[in-house]
Structure 1
Amino acid sequence: MVKVATFFGMSFGAFLFWQTMDKVHVWIALHQDEKKERLEKEADIRIMKEELYQQQKERDSLA
């Protein structure tokens, strides 16, 4: 009886472990995606600022 209880206990523990690892993996992947999107947005903003700066520079040199 002890062997059967130990088997079920260990099986349940392994199940909980894999479920937790799966959730941790999903959480890490989501945060990596969010970080990647944020960095892409920041790069787009930098490019737009540089373009606007160049346009302003051209207008100032024409005036």
Structure 2
Amino acid sequence: MLRYKGVLHMVGTERKVIFQGVHQLMGTDLGPEWSPQERRNSKMVFIGIDLPQDILRQGLEQSLA
């Protein structure tokens, strides 16, 4: 995986969780609060070559609350 980033809706916080990384380095920050009319969902982008989509999907599905 070359690069990854996203905005996450996480249980226990009213703020967006921003994550980004390069190779094996990853960081997170708390972003702004979700606005009342905003749909709370997570969005992630993965950039790489020949990424194993089935393994990535399985791991992400296991992390859903």
Could you say which structure has the greater relative contact order, defined with CA pairs below 8 angstroms and 6 or more residues apart?
2
Task: Decide: shared fold, TM above 0.5.
Answer: no
TM-score, with structure 2 as normaliser: 0.21
Q: When the two structures are superposed, what TM-score results if normalisation uses the length of structure 1? A: 0.22
Structure with higher strand content: 2
Q: Which has the larger radius of gyration?
A: 1
Name the one with the larger helix percent. Answer: 1
